[in-house]
Homo-oligomer: A and B are copies of this chain.
Protein backbone atom coordinates (compact mmCIF):
# COMPACT_ATOMS: atom_id res chain seq x y z
CA UNK A 1 0.00 0.00 0.00
CA UNK A 2 2.89 2.30 0.85
CA UNK A 3 3.02 4.31 -2.36
CA UNK A 4 -0.60 3.93 -3.25
CA UNK A 5 -1.17 7.65 -3.58
CA UNK A 6 1.73 7.95 -6.02
CA UNK A 7 0.47 5.06 -8.13
CA UNK A 8 -3.03 6.47 -8.24
CA UNK A 9 -1.82 9.87 -9.32
CA UNK A 10 0.23 8.14 -12.02
CA UNK A 11 -2.97 6.60 -13.33
CA UNK A 12 -4.57 10.00 -13.71
CA UNK A 13 -6.63 9.83 -10.55
CA UNK A 14 -7.80 13.26 -9.48
CA UNK A 15 -6.49 13.65 -5.95
CA UNK A 16 -8.99 14.98 -3.43
CA UNK A 17 -8.77 15.21 0.33
CA UNK A 18 -11.53 12.58 0.61
CA UNK A 19 -9.71 10.05 -1.55
CA UNK A 20 -6.47 10.72 0.25
CA UNK A 21 -8.06 10.05 3.64
CA UNK A 22 -9.73 6.82 2.48
CA UNK A 23 -6.45 5.57 1.04
CA UNK A 24 -4.62 6.46 4.26
CA UNK A 25 -7.17 4.65 6.42
CA UNK A 26 -6.62 1.53 4.29
CA UNK A 27 -2.97 1.12 5.16
CA UNK A 28 -1.18 -1.69 6.94
CA UNK A 29 -1.11 -5.47 7.16
CA UNK A 30 -4.02 -7.62 8.29
CA UNK A 31 -6.38 -4.69 7.71
CA UNK A 32 -9.91 -5.85 6.79
CA UNK A 33 -12.33 -3.02 7.46
CA UNK A 34 -15.99 -2.77 6.50
CA UNK A 35 -17.12 0.23 4.47
CA UNK A 36 -18.72 1.57 7.61
CA UNK A 37 -15.50 1.28 9.60
CA UNK A 38 -13.61 3.01 6.81
CA UNK A 39 -16.18 5.78 6.90
CA UNK A 40 -15.90 6.09 10.67
CA UNK A 41 -12.11 6.37 10.60
CA UNK A 42 -12.10 8.67 7.62
CA UNK A 43 -14.65 10.93 9.31
CA UNK A 44 -12.35 11.21 12.32
CA UNK A 45 -9.92 13.07 10.09
CA UNK A 46 -12.35 14.70 7.68
CA UNK A 47 -15.73 15.04 9.40
CA UNK A 48 -17.73 16.08 6.33
CA UNK A 49 -16.88 12.99 4.26
CA UNK A 50 -20.03 11.21 3.13
CA UNK A 51 -20.88 7.53 3.06
CA UNK A 52 -21.46 7.66 -0.70
CA UNK A 53 -17.95 8.97 -1.27
CA UNK A 54 -16.44 6.19 0.80
CA UNK A 55 -18.39 3.61 -1.21
CA UNK A 56 -17.39 5.25 -4.50
CA UNK A 57 -13.74 5.41 -3.56
CA UNK A 58 -13.63 1.83 -2.29
CA UNK A 59 -15.31 0.67 -5.49
CA UNK A 60 -12.70 2.48 -7.58
CA UNK A 61 -9.81 1.08 -5.57
CA UNK A 62 -11.23 -2.41 -6.09
CA UNK A 63 -11.68 -1.79 -9.83
CA UNK A 64 -8.06 -0.59 -10.05
CA UNK A 65 -6.92 -3.78 -8.32
CA UNK A 66 -5.42 -1.88 -5.39
CA UNK A 67 -7.82 -3.29 -2.81
CA UNK A 68 -9.59 -6.65 -2.51
CA UNK A 69 -13.15 -7.33 -1.42
CA UNK A 70 -13.46 -10.07 1.20
CA UNK A 71 -16.91 -11.44 2.08
CA UNK A 72 -16.01 -14.23 4.46
CA UNK A 73 -16.85 -12.62 7.78
CA UNK A 74 -20.27 -11.33 8.77
CA UNK A 75 -22.73 -9.66 6.47
CA UNK A 76 -20.82 -6.61 5.30
CA UNK A 77 -18.04 -6.76 2.71
CA UNK A 78 -14.55 -6.07 4.02
CA UNK A 79 -11.75 -4.29 2.18
CA UNK A 80 -8.21 -5.68 2.14
CA UNK A 81 -5.44 -3.30 1.02
CA UNK A 82 -2.91 -6.13 0.73
CA UNK A 83 -3.85 -6.77 -2.92
CA UNK A 84 -0.32 -6.74 -4.34
CA UNK A 85 0.71 -9.70 -2.20
CA UNK A 86 -1.29 -12.87 -3.07
CA UNK A 87 -2.63 -14.43 0.11
CA UNK A 88 -5.51 -16.27 1.75
CA UNK A 89 -7.41 -15.63 4.98
CA UNK A 90 -7.52 -17.21 8.42
CA UNK A 91 -10.63 -16.28 10.39
CA UNK A 92 -11.37 -16.82 14.08
CA UNK A 93 -14.78 -18.46 14.51
CA UNK A 94 -15.03 -16.82 17.92
CA UNK A 95 -14.20 -13.15 17.55
CA UNK A 96 -13.99 -12.76 13.78
CA UNK A 97 -10.36 -11.63 13.68
CA UNK A 98 -8.85 -12.02 10.21
CA UNK A 99 -5.19 -12.70 9.39
CA UNK A 100 -3.51 -12.83 5.99
CA UNK A 101 -1.83 -16.22 5.44
CA UNK A 102 0.26 -17.88 2.73
CA UNK A 103 -0.41 -21.62 2.23
CA UNK A 104 2.18 -23.67 0.37
CA UNK A 105 1.20 -26.00 -2.47
CA UNK A 106 -0.88 -25.40 -5.57
CA UNK A 107 -4.56 -25.34 -4.77
CA UNK A 108 -5.62 -24.82 -8.38
CA UNK A 109 -3.58 -27.86 -9.45
CA UNK A 110 -5.41 -29.88 -6.80
CA UNK A 111 -8.65 -29.64 -8.75
CA UNK A 112 -8.72 -32.69 -11.08
CA UNK A 113 -9.56 -32.19 -14.72
CA UNK A 114 -12.79 -34.19 -14.46
CA UNK A 115 -13.93 -31.90 -11.63
CA UNK A 116 -13.58 -28.73 -13.70
CA UNK A 117 -16.71 -29.16 -15.84
CA UNK A 118 -14.90 -27.49 -18.74
CA UNK A 119 -14.29 -24.27 -16.77
CA UNK A 120 -11.10 -22.25 -17.39
CA UNK A 121 -10.12 -21.99 -13.71
CA UNK A 122 -8.15 -18.83 -12.98
CA UNK A 123 -7.97 -18.40 -9.22
CA UNK A 124 -8.94 -19.84 -5.89
CA UNK A 125 -9.92 -18.11 -2.66
CA UNK A 126 -9.39 -19.98 0.58
CA UNK A 127 -10.73 -19.22 4.03
CA UNK A 128 -9.25 -21.15 6.91
CA UNK A 129 -11.43 -21.22 10.02
CA UNK A 130 -10.50 -21.96 13.60
CA UNK A 131 -10.16 -20.48 17.06
CA UNK A 132 -7.54 -17.86 17.84
CA UNK A 133 -5.42 -18.22 21.01
CA UNK A 134 -7.55 -15.69 22.89
CA UNK A 135 -10.85 -17.49 22.06
CA UNK A 136 -9.58 -21.06 22.56
Which residues of A approach B to under 8 Å, CB–CB?
71-72, 90, 92-93, 99, 101-105, 107-108, 110-112, 115-133, 136
Contact = CB atoms under 8 A, between A and B. Distances in A.
Contact of A107 (B71, B103, B121, B136): B103
Given A119-B133, A125-B129, A107 B104 contact: no
A115 to B, nearest CB: 5
Contact of A111 (B101, B112, B116): B101
Copies in the complex: 2
B99 A104 contact: no
A128 B111 contact: yes
19 contacts: A72-B125, A90-B115, A90-B117, A101-B111, A101-B117, A102-B115, A107-B107, A107-B110, A107-B126, A108-B128, A116-B130, A117-B133, A119-B131, A119-B133, A121-B128, A121-B129, A123-B128, A124-B126, A126-B126
Contacts of A108: 128
